[in-house]
Structure 1
Amino acid sequence: MHSQVETVKSAVDKCLQVIKTYEWLLDLYVLDFFVDNHWEKLPALWQKSLENVDPKELGDILSGNQTKHMLPLSLLALFKTIGSLSIPRKGYNGVRNNQAVEKYSCSHLKLKNIFLKHVKLKKRHEISMMADFVNLNAKLSKCEAVVDFGSGLGHLIRILSYKYGLHSVGIEMQTQLTLEARKLDSELEYTAKKYLTEEQMSKLHRPIHCNVTLSSIDQLQELSLSTSVTNYGLIGLHPCGDLGPLLIKHFVNCDKVKFICIVGCCFMKLSYNTEACGYPMSQYVKGLDSGLSYTSREIACHAIDTYCERLCRGEYKDLKVHAYRAALEKLLMQIDPSLKHMPIRSVKHTNNMTFNSYCDAALNRISMKPLQHAAVAQDLVHWKRVVILYTLRLALAPLVETVILLDRILYMLENGISCAIYPVFDPKISPRNHIIVGRKL
């Protein structure tokens, strides 16, 4: 474990060194592109090289595809460094539990897709992979119960209960979602009765759904669970903001919790340098210059794999809308500086959309002085620069996510707990695709 700790510390150090060097780039708001002349903030060699580059070329470079466009060595070195330091986003081979599914599970051929009813495609992928992964770790931890925080409609614990036979408890703050979850349980059992015997039905574990709003670790310690739940695993599929760190702390401090499987989400909502902060968690990272701005944490939640794929296909014209918004920001600031970052209507780009029509749609129902569209006409000629700048910022985003995840790993390692990170989900389907797993030996 000592060597693992040192390896993780070294990785964090290197990531933070790059992040701090390019913090100025990470913290640029695309919204202010024309107001603050962001293009001129790029190094001169970068400007010259990227001036006429097709964004498709950047997508190819970031995706490792061959390209004839020559970039400055400093930029190529940056991309290479990001790739080598970031936690891999692919490579998980779907390790399965070799033990057979229990005989009392919903294993009838007619019930094969019963757990995917009412579930959207993205969620289907996530809950199927997560359930397999959680079941494996439950077996390795000799644990027969799991508690899912932020369980929503209960799709994940429904699989864990009915398919894998685990005692499952879902914690959800919204009462309506809990009521719907119980309704879906009843629907599943109604369908299952058509194909299973009475004995099989009697052995099914119905999940338990609870309403709790968590705000402190003390509530977790006092959580009232079923008497059937003594030792259990903690699971969280994209718990928002500080909830993820809160669950990790509970796992470390509670003897009853034997393992944890958690997928991060909404890093921009993490509290920073507070008493119960979500980042940094580990003592080591707390001792470093480890600050991550809201802007950098926000872009770390974007879908880089899908974005690069779109660039590689040359499908980036709809991104022109970001240049339109930046140009509109410049016009609004010219009218009145107090209008800076004023909320406006979100507008999707269409092939025949002009800047004038964009402004009309964005400012619908807002009364103000007429805009002088001609004042930004020359800016909009360079709309691809906005796409390029956003791409450069997004290229750095995996380093920010890596630091946040490794900080959580270090926190568990500092407390003597075996842990690891696995890129379980397909990143093109689920951008936050890493599961942190910790098990108490």
Structure 2
Amino acid sequence: MDKHRDALKISIEMSLKVIQHHRWLMDLYVVDFFTENHWELLPLAWRECFCDIDPQTLGYIIRDLPTNHILPLSFLALMKVIKSLSFPRQSVNRVESNEKQSVIGSHPKLKNLFLKHVKLKKRHEISLMANVVHSVAVESCCDAVIDFGSGLGHLVRMLSYKYDLHTVGIEGQNQLTDEARKLDSELEYTAQKYVDAETMRKLNRPIHCNKTLNSPSQLEKLSFSISNHGLIGLHPCGDLGPLLLKYFVSCERSKFICLVGCCYMKLTCENGIGYPMSKYLQSLDYTLSYPSREIACHAIEVYCEKLCKGDYNDLKVHAFRAALERILVAHNPKLRHSPIRSVKHTENMTFENYCKIALERISLPGMDTSQAEADLSQWKRVIIVYTLRLLLAPLVETLILLDRLYYLTEHGIYCEIHPVFDPRVSPRNHVIIGRKI
């Protein structure tokens, strides 16, 4: 445990140094590209290298594909250190275990029953997450789990009916809970056509309940017909992830946790609430701005694939928004960062059409658009700067995850982390596993 904690500490310190040194880049809002002259903020060597580069080539560079460009040593060093410090994002293939699967779970005609009414992204996530949770539950000699933010109950449904675990799904929205119960009934209606009545009678059925959670003490007061249990958090939003970790640490009955983070920009960054959690990181200069936490939720793999395919014309919308921002601020400084209608770029969209849609609900007569043409001629530079920011996203996420891992070790809990989902399908793909041994 001590060696593991020391390794985490070194990783935290090194990641922080890189992040602190590049805050000037991470904290940029793409909308301010022209109003704050972001291009001139890049180091001179970077500007000279990237001024005429095609975004497709930059995509090749980030994916370590060969190009003819001679790159600045500072940029090469940054790419190397980000790669060495960030958690690997390539998903690890996990063989599905048939151990202790229920009659329904092992029935050949019912194998896809659990994926009905589930969107493709969610199918990918719940299938892999259920396999991970089941494996950890078996290792922990635990046959009960609680899923927080269970939504329509897809995950607990699979864990109950397929893996024969006792499950509780906690969801804040009544409508989702009601729909989850209907989906349970629909599953059983289909299953009873293939299995006998005695098997149906003995099924482990999910418990769905409504509860909005704000503190670990609330969780302690919840009463279910299960004692020792594991905790599940599949993309809990903002502070809910840290809340589950705190409950896990404090609750003797909780034997393991499987947690996948999400929405880091919504974390409360004070008093150890959301970030940082560990006392060690709290003792350092741990600051992560909202823009840096927000960009850590973006999919660098999908973005780079678009660049490498030359499929980046739709990214012109970033330049359109930045050009419009300059116009708005020049017209009235109070309009800075005004909430405007989101516009998806379409082929042959003009800036005039963009503005008409974006400002549909705002009447601003007399705006001077004379600067727009010159600004929009630099649309590739807008993409380049945004891409350079995105390069740091995996390291920011790594720091947040390292903080959570170190928090667990501070409480003597064994922990590990694995990239389980395909990052192109589910960008937040790391599962933190904590077990009380």
Could you tell me how far apart the structure 1 residues matched to 2:406 and 2:163 are? 31
Identical pairs, percent: 61
Contact 2:91–2:423 (CA<8 Å) still a contact in 1?
no
Letter in 2 for 1:428: R
Contact 1:356–1:373 (CA<8 Å) still a contact in 2?
no
Tell me the C-alpha RMSD between the 2 structures. Answer: 1.0
The alpha-carbon distance between structure 1 residues 416 and 91, as it changes in their structure 2 partners (threshold 3 A), is same
Q: Secondary structure at 1:373's aligned position in 2?
A: coil
Contact 1:105–1:165 (CA<8 Å) still a contact in 2?
no
Could you tell me how far apart the structure 2 residues matched to 1:171 and 1:44 are? 53
Structure 1 position 62, deviation (Å): 1.2
The alpha-carbon distance between structure 1 residues 103 and 374, as it changes in their structure 2 partners (threshold 3 A), is closer
1:304 maps to which residue? 300
1:232 aligned residue (229, 238, 246)? 229
Letter in 1 for 2:54: D
Contact 1:148–1:168 (CA<8 Å) still a contact in 2?
yes
How many residues are paired up?
437
Q: Given the two structures, how large is their TM-score scaled by the length of structure 1?
A: 0.97
1:404 aligned residue (400, 403, 428)? 400
Equivalent positions of 1:218-257 (< 5 A) are 218-226=217-225, 229-257=226-254
Could you tell me how far apart the structure 2 residues matched to 1:91 and 1:369 are? 52
Structure 1 position 200, deviation (Å): 1.7
Could you tell me how far apart the structure 2 residues matched to 1:421 and 1:66 are? 31
Contact 1:106–1:192 (CA<8 Å) still a contact in 2?
no
Gaps of 5+ in 1: none
Q: Secondary structure at 1:109's aligned position in 2?
A: coil
Equivalent positions of 1:27-426 (< 5 A) are 27-97=27-97, 100-226=99-225, 229-274=226-271, 277-426=273-422
Letter in 2 for 1:253: S
Could you tell me how far apart the structure 2 residues matched to 1:317 and 1:104 are? 51
Structure 1 position 371, deviation (Å): 2.7
Letter in 1 for 2:113: I
Contact 1:101–1:163 (CA<8 Å) still a contact in 2?
no
Structure 1 position 186, deviation (Å): 0.2
Letter in 1 for 2:377: V
Q: Secondary structure at 2:257's aligned position in 1?
A: strand
Letter in 1 for 2:21: T
Structure 1 position 253, deviation (Å): 0.8
Structure 1 position 366, deviation (Å): 1.6
Structure 1 stretch 368-377 or stretch 184-193: which is displaced more? 368-377
Contact 2:297–2:428 (CA<8 Å) still a contact in 1?
yes
Structure 1 position 95, deviation (Å): 4.5
Could you tell me how far apart the structure 1 residues matched to 2:77 and 2:91 are? 24
Gaps of 5+ in 2: none
Structure 1 position 93, deviation (Å): 2.3
Could you tell me how far apart the structure 2 residues matched to 1:33 and 1:123 are? 35
Contact 1:144–1:232 (CA<8 Å) still a contact in 2?
yes
Contact 1:34–1:379 (CA<8 Å) still a contact in 2?
yes
Q: Given the two structures, how large is their TM-score scaled by the length of structure 2?
A: 0.98
